[in-house]
Amino acid sequence: MGLFITFEGGEGCGKSFQSKVLYRKLCCLNISVLLTYEPGGTVLGDEIRRVLKKKRLETISPETELFLILACRVQLVNEVIHPALEEDKVVICDRFTDSTVVYQGYGRGLDLKFIEEIHYKVIQGLKPDLTVLLDMPADEGLKRKRAKARDRFEEAGLVFHNSIRNGYLKLAASEPERWLVIDATLPRSKISNIVWDRVSRLLALNQDKPKHG
C-alpha cells in the first residue's frame, strides 16, 4: 500500500493527538501502519531531540538548529520511514520537512531555497502523499501549552509563532493537492472525521499506486 501521511501545525494544535487517532483507526482495520514523529523517532534522533528542546543559557544558532534537525531526519528516513514504505505500510509522521521550512525558514529566517535544496539531497526528494495541517491562531495554541513546562521552541514568543502559522498557510496554498487544512479549534471528533474522510479516499486511490522507491 505504501502511503506517507504527515501531520503539521503550530504548538498546541493537537496534531500528535490526531495522528494517534488515525493510527488506531488503521490498526482496527488491520491495515499495516507505522506511527513515528520528529524530531526523533530513532535512538539517535531522540538524543538530538532532547538537545534541541532543552531550554539553555547559550544560544543555538538557526544553522546549528537546522543541521541537528536534518541529522534526526536522515536517520529516521533511512532507519524507519523508507523500510516501512518499501513494505507497503502506511507511515504516519508527526512533523516532517514542512516543519523545518516554517520553523527554521519562516521562523528563524534561513533561506527557503537552501532548505529545499538540502532536503532534496539528504532525503532523495521524499515527500508526503498527504499533509494534514491543523491550523489555529498562535496565541490560542500557546495557551493550550501553559499548563505544561514549555520547551525552547514554545518559549520563542508570539511573533515567532505567528510567522510559523503564516508559513504553514503559504505552503498549503502553494501545494493544495497535498495539503488538508483543518480548523484546529473544531471539536476533536469532528477533526478526526475530516481526516478520515480524506485518508479513506486516498487509501482507495492508492491501491494501484507504484511503491515508493
pLDDT tens-digit map of 11-55? 889 999 999 999 999 999 999 999 999 999 999 999 999 988 877
Closest CA to 123 of 105, 91, 97, 141: 97
Contact 44, 75 (CB under 8 A): yes
Assess if residue 123 is contained within a domain. Answer: yes
**Rounded CA Rg of the chain:** 17
Assess if residue 213 is contained within a domain. Answer: no
pTM metric for this prediction: 0.90
Q: Residue 190 pLDDT > 80, yes or no?
A: yes
Looking at residue 212, its pLDDT comes to 44
Assess if residue 188 is contained within a domain. Answer: yes
**What's the total number of domains in the chain?**
1
Assess if residue 16 is contained within a domain. Answer: yes
46, 134, 185 from 18: Cα distances, Å:
21, 9, 13
pLDDT in tens, 145-155: 765 556 667 67
CATH number for the domain harbouring residue 64: 3.40.50.300
Closest CA to 9 of 145, 111, 125, 120: 145
Looking at residue 151, its pLDDT comes to 67
Residues of the domain holding 61: 3-207
pLDDT in tens, 50-103: 988 877 656 789 999 999 999 999 999 999 999 999 999 999 999 999 999 999
Assess if residue 212 is contained within a domain. Answer: no
Other CB atoms closer than 10 Å to residue 99's CB: what's the count?
25
Element housing 34 (H / E): strand 33-37
Interior/surface letters 148-177, b for 16+ CB within 10 angstroms, e for the rest = eeebebbebeeebbbbbbebbeebbeeeee
Looking at residue 153, its pLDDT comes to 73
CA 134 to chain centre: 10
Assess if residue 128 is contained within a domain. Answer: yes
Dmax over Cα atoms in the chain, in whole Å? 53
The C-alpha cell that represents 133 in the structure block? 495541517
pLDDT in tens, 121-162: 999 889 999 999 999 999 888 888 765 556 667 677 789 999
